[in-house]
A and B are shown apart, each in its own frame.
Chain A
């Protein structure tokens, strides 16, 4: 049970609108990730679902019941905060028990739940320590544990991994995914890291400036971005955008003149004379001369071993290419780029 529905939800702080008419439906058991640059309103949206902030207008329903006026405590949700917000003066055990004690749960039931969560998260060894004596990763587990013991309708996670180092973030991410599979509970996860979004989400909600830009599965967003913002946000390194003008548009075939003069043949584009932006992912560009290849000048070579990231200048436009394997190239050299095999996205 964890079906959450947002209808025309708006939020303004004074005269500033931070959330504009958000409509979203989250199914029971779904892992939904809110992603977007900082300040896009994703945390505000999460806090409104939690009940910590009230929407200015619109309805918020959990399991079919409008909860606009229901206080946070009675919504049956649990939240994991970015700073973990563990009570520093309580032991880990007391931190886990605090929420349960407030519901007047019998003591043995509390102990049983804490034991279960501690086993699940492997925090049994430090149940009697204070949060200040724990490492970042351990605190993070306790914060999740505090949510788990409540057996909430849905979990709300506000950038839970942002305070961990890169290595720990990777492993905790995998654990979170496993936890979701095991609990089969609804989870709403806020992050600005698109890698976390791609790896964890059943569905991603991309937000920008208080508006939903696109909702879809990770691969949906990767393969069929609705607009340039989503295309640029999802995928790493991010998509190349090339400015150009449609020179000739025929049926199933057209020619685009890129800014800088080089020409590119495409299956089909819009009207002749229209200015367009072509989006092409760095992984889809291949190196090598062909009749339709473009010529670019290397500015930087990043050899990562398994792949090489090439920064190049394509007649005044920056272009990024990720070529598999290792290449003996140096900045200043000319390279030929082929976009023949690349799926090309067109944006107006």
Chain B
């Protein structure tokens, strides 16, 4: 504990504040707010009721106006703290509002109606988590179905990505052949082609192959990634060629060299690519939206878009389900982040 305090209060200027200390703190706190703020707002808002979401100014935490059941009234009434004419304050329940005047009753003594100007009352608020936002979609909405589709697409695509890209990287790093550099450059050049450019031709290919409305139509076009080939190739270049020579002397076939020597040694780079691939595939929206038009095939990201209809958007469900869809990606990052840092440092990629 004292170590943490010492760490946090450590300053460059010794006892005083050096200007870099101030810049550092400002930068770090600012960064924390910019990076973490939206995530906190998302999680907080996912527990708000639709009414609380529409409130202005918005709050981080989900507050609702406290309600109370008063004798003689069917519906629960909102509670307010009102300033009375004599200057005292009391907690009253609002019966109805007429213009700028609110008609209120004391919950304990509901007979007498008190008129209060609406400017002179503030709602009594309490934190309330609208867990319905989470439970409702699981019952009314095919969340489990979409989740399964997303998991299937992500896992399958990632596995195929790892195998296919590492094979390409192995050939491009450990074999000498004419046009090796050219092949690598061509692969890297495809990084410059965005999905929107190749969407239409890709669609006709997928459709011609009969993969339209099929999860494989989502998986297959995405598995060969130039980034993946590049990361793995750069890493494999650092594996000494003598190991491959030694394996050859040991009567290993080319497949065995790849599978038993190169792949295990490429594990850190494979972990990085796996993380990237999981995040990419999990968050994919446009391509699955194009290929999948049957509801039962939707992935989570496509499924979520159901909540934004033409006329109204059910933000409370969207926010809650967004939080749920974020969980796997966050977990992947938490558990594999050390591979990201070591692996990225090793591959020379930023």
Contacts and interface: CB of A to CB of B under 8 A. Distances in A.
A82 to B, nearest CB: 7
A102 B261 CA distance: 13
Given A81-B242, A82-B242, A83-B240, A89 B249 contact: no
B242 A72 contact: no
Contacts of B101: none
Interface in B206-258: 240, 242-243, 245-253, 256
Contacts of B260: 98
Given A72-B249, A85-B245, A102 B240 contact: no
Given A85-B240, A85-B242, A85-B243, A79 B249 contact: yes
Interface string A125-160: 000000000000000000000100010000000000
A142 to B, nearest CB: 12
Interface residues of B, number: 17
Contact of A52 (B240, B245, B256, B261): B245
A98 B242 CA distance: 15
A73 B251 contact: yes
Interface string B272-308: 0000000000000000000000000000000000000
Given A85-B242, A89-B264, A89-B265, A98 B249 contact: no
A81 B264 contact: no
Contacts of B251: 73-74, 99, 102-103
A273 interface: no
Interface residues of A, number: 25
Nearest to A74: B251
A99 B264 contact: no
A77 interface: yes
Given A87-B243, A88-B265, A89-B264, A78 B252 contact: no
Contacts of B246: 79, 81, 85-87, 146
B179 to A, nearest CB: 15
A50 interface: yes
Contact of B252 (A73, A82, A83, A88): A73
Interface string B14-25: 000000000000
A96 to B, nearest CB: 10
Interface centre among B240, B248, B250, B261 (most CB of A within 10 A): B250
Interface in A88-139: 88-89, 98-99, 102-103
Interface in A53-97: 71-74, 77-79, 81-83, 85-89
B245 A79 contact: yes
Contact of B250 (A71, A89, A146): A146
Given A52-B245, A79-B245, A102 B252 contact: yes
Interface of A: 47, 50-52, 71-74, 77-79, 81-83, 85-89, 98-99, 102-103, 146, 150
Given A85-B246, A87-B243, 14 more contacts: A51-B248, A52-B245, A73-B249, A78-B249, A82-B242, A85-B245, A87-B246, A89-B265, A98-B252, A99-B249, A99-B250, A99-B252, A146-B250, A150-B250
13 contacts: A52-B245, A71-B248, A72-B249, A73-B252, A78-B249, A79-B245, A79-B246, A79-B249, A81-B246, A87-B243, A87-B261, A146-B250, A150-B250
